[in-house]
């Protein structure tokens, strides 16, 4: 019996080992290496986090020309990098001064950082730096070190079908949070700088662009928070290293491209919509203090100037809080039409439909939302309530249970969810 158990145990260990170790060619050194995460799995994880990253950064910037400009510039630089993964480039609405990448290829540039840039070589420098992190597998190394086997279980969806569903959601939530606040080490920053300078240069951009950004950040540092610096520390030695590297290894850099007509046009598009976004930032402060009427008038002004998905989403939220459910649905629909990857308006629309007793419509909306962001507790609560209302007992129990298992306990509906579950289970 014991022997049999031992054999079984060895078999388990071996299968875990074969599951976890992948031999791949390191794109930078060209040598064979063993990794826990395969490139395919890394791409898979990155893909799962895209919608959360967009949601946290308040949606995609609505202008198609701007998005395709970012995509073309990014793809051009990515094409000179040794690692070929699923590169994607997004400009997000956030006014934070930030840029970041996800494992396996997605790269995000905020509206806030682009507004601080003077020319195309600066944007190229920031994108090339993020490409440096992806090429050096810094995200994958973070995931391997922090989560180990549990990420493999999550991404391979081993437990997705069974009753441990909420533990998978919690795993994913943890990984999403970790990736969106990921801090790299000093060595990793230096490595990404060196690669970024090389990639920008090889793609035909003046590699001193990144130095322009560094200087800008140093001068802004005292006046306003710079999110990019909180995840990419910038000590003076780092700037000196890059200066020295460029002057010794990249001669004639000044002859490379510094700016373009496209950059100038894109920047003017962003500047033209800035006032509208500033009204949203102000409205958010009033929303925080539950001053919805003041928030509403600011959001009306914002939408008059430029109807962004972000402004429509916040106005939908305000209307929801003012119990104007039809208006909330209308605004949410405008936001969804502009940006189908934005989770927040789907959640607001689903809640408004729930309040109007439109159970089936609310279910359809929230299930769509679940395909984008899987770890939102409110989503499961309202799905549970809807399913209970249409008499689908199993789905009601499943969603309410998940809601309670993943909530932070401060959502306000916890007691109601427990009461519903007791009555659904018949005790
Ligand atoms: Zn960095």
Whether 91 and 66 have beta carbons less than 8 Å apart is answered as yes
Q: How far is the CA of 133 from the centre of ligand 1 (A)?
A: 7
Other C-beta atoms within 10 Å of 423: how many?
Answer: 10
Q: How far is the CA of 78 from the centre of ligand 1 (A)?
A: 16
Q: How far is the CA of 302 from the centre of ligand 1 (A)?
A: 33
pLDDT of residue 20: 59
Query: Could you tell me the residue ranges of all domains in the chain?
Result: 16-255, 276-425
Q: How far is the CA of 148 from the centre of ligand 1 (A)?
A: 23
Report, as an integer, the average pLDDT of 223-248. 85
Share of the chain above pLDDT 90, in %: 72
- pLDDT, one tens digit per residue, over 360-400 is 999 999 999 999 999 999 999 999 999 999 999 999 999 99
Residue 176 to residue 375: CA distance in whole angstroms = 9
Q: How far is the CA of 288 from the centre of ligand 1 (A)?
A: 32
Q: How far is the CA of 196 from the centre of ligand 1 (A)?
A: 9
Q: Which one is predicted more confidently, 160 or 234?
A: 234
Q: Which one is predicted more confidently, 163 or 217?
A: 217
Residue 103 to residue 153: CA distance in whole angstroms = 17
Is a pLDDT exceeding 80 seen at residue 3?
no
Q: Which two tokens stand for residue 151?
A: 């990420």
Report, as an integer, the average pLDDT of 120-146. 95
Q: Which two tokens stand for residue 389?
A: 């209302």
Q: How far is the CA of 191 from the centre of ligand 1 (A)?
A: 9
Q: Does domain 276-425 have CATH number 2.60.40.10?
A: no
Residue 61: phi and psi, rounded to 5, are: -60, 130
pLDDT of residue 286: 98
Q: How far is the CA of 289 from the centre of ligand 1 (A)?
A: 35
CA distances from 326 to 91, 129, 322, 359, 389 (A): 30, 45, 11, 15, 21
Q: How far is the CA of 14 from the centre of ligand 1 (A)?
A: 37
Q: How far is the CA of 345 from the centre of ligand 1 (A)?
A: 31
pLDDT of residue 153: 65
Q: How far is the CA of 183 from the centre of ligand 1 (A)?
A: 8
- pLDDT, one tens digit per residue, over 52-83 is 999 999 999 999 999 999 999 999 999 999 99
pLDDT, mean over the chain: 90
pLDDT of residue 154: 63
Q: How far is the CA of 101 from the centre of ligand 1 (A)?
A: 9
Q: Which one is predicted more confidently, 80 or 163?
A: 80
Is a pLDDT exceeding 50 seen at residue 1?
no
Is a pLDDT exceeding 80 seen at residue 7?
no
Residue 323 to residue 352: CA distance in whole angstroms = 8
Q: Number of C-alpha atoms within 13 angstroms, CB side, residue 385?
A: 26
Q: How far is the CA of 138 from the centre of ligand 1 (A)?
A: 10
Is the pTM higher than 0.85? yes
- pLDDT, one tens digit per residue, over 312-340 is 999 999 999 999 999 999 999 999 999 99
Question: Sign of the C-alpha dihedral, residues 225, 226, 230, 234?
Answer: negative
Q: How far is the CA of 362 from the centre of ligand 1 (A)?
A: 41
Whether 154 and 167 have beta carbons less than 8 Å apart is answered as no
CA distances from 193 to 20, 79, 91, 99, 189 (A): 30, 18, 22, 14, 6
Q: How far is the CA of 241 from the centre of ligand 1 (A)?
A: 14
Q: How far is the CA of 129 from the centre of ligand 1 (A)?
A: 6
Closest among 141, 214, 164, 183 to 406, alpha carbons compared:
164
Share of the chain above pLDDT 70, in %: 91
Residue 142 to residue 103: CA distance in whole angstroms = 10
Q: How far is the CA of 363 from the centre of ligand 1 (A)?
A: 40
Report, as an integer, the average pLDDT of 336-360. 98
Q: Which one is predicted more confidently, 386 or 164?
A: 386
Q: Of 123-132, 139-148, 381-390, 392-401, give the lowest mean pLDDT range.
A: 139-148
Is a pLDDT exceeding 60 seen at residue 29?
yes
Q: How far is the CA of 189 from the centre of ligand 1 (A)?
A: 5
pLDDT of residue 9: 53
Q: Check residue 49 and report its DSSP letter.
A: H
Report, as an integer, the average pLDDT of 153-162. 56
Burial of 178 (0-12, 13-18, 19+ CB in 10 A): middle
Whether 74 and 133 have beta carbons less than 8 Å apart is answered as no
Residues with CB under 5 A from ligand 1 (ion): 189, 192, 232
Q: How far is the CA of 232 from the centre of ligand 1 (A)?
A: 5
Is a pLDDT exceeding 60 seen at residue 159?
no
Whether 408 and 377 have beta carbons less than 8 Å apart is answered as yes
Q: How far is the CA of 162 from the centre of ligand 1 (A)?
A: 39
Report, as an integer, the average pLDDT of 102-112. 97
């Amino acid at each position: 019996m014991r022997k049999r158990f031992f054999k079984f145990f060895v078999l388990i260990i071996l299968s875990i080992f074969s599951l976890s170790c992948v031999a791949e060619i390191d794109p930078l050194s060209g040598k064979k290496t063993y990794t826990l995460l395969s490139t395919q799995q890394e791409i898979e994880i990155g893909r799962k986090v895209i919608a959360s990253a967009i949601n946290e950064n308040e949606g995609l910037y609505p202008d198609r020309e701007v998005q395709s400009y970012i995509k073309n510039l990014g793809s051009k630089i990515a094409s000179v990098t040794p690692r070929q993964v699923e590169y994607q480039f997004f400009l997000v609405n956030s006014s934070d001064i930030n840029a970041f990448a996800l494992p396996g290829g997605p790269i995000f540039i905020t509206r806030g950082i682009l507004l601080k840039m003077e020319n195309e070589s600066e944007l190229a420098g920031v994108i090339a730096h993020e490409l440096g992190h992806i090429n050096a597998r810094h995200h994958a190394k973070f995931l391997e070190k922090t989560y180990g086997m549990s990420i493999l279980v999550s991404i391979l969806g081993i437990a997705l079908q069974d009753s441990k569903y909420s533990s998978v959601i919690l795993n994913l939530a943890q990984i999403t949070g970790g990736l969106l606040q990921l801090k790299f080490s000093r060595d990793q920053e230096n490595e990404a700088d060196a690669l970024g300078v090389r990639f920008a240069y090889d793609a035909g951009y003046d590699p001193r662009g990144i130095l322009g950004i560094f200087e800008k950040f140093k001068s802004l540092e005292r006046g306003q928070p710079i999110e990019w610096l909180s995840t990419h520390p910038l000590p003076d030695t780092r700037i000196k290293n890059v200066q020295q590297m460029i002057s010794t290894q990249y001669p004639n850099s000044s002859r490379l491209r510094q700016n373009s007509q496209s950059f100038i046009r894109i920047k003017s598009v962003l500047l033209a919509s800035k006032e509208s976004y500033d009204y949203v930032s102000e409205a958010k402060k009033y929303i925080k203090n539950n001053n919805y009427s003041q928030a509403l008038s600011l959001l009306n002004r914002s939408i008059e100037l430029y109807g962004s998905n972000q402004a429509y989403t916040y106005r939908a939220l305000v209307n929801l809080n003012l119990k104007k459910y039809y208006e909330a649905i209308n605004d949410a629909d405008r936001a969804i039409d502009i940006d189908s990857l934005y989770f927040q308006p789907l959640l607001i629309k689903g809640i408004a439909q729930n309040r109007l007793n439109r159970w089936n419509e609310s279910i359809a909306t929230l299930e769509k939302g679940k395909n984008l962001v899987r770890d939102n507790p409110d989503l499961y609560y309202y799905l549970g309530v809807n399913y209970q209302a249409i008499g689908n007992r199993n789905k009601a129990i499943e969603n309410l249970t998940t809601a309670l298992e993943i909530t932070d306990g401060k959502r306000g509906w916890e007691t109601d969810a427990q009461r519903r579950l007791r009555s659904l289970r018949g005790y």
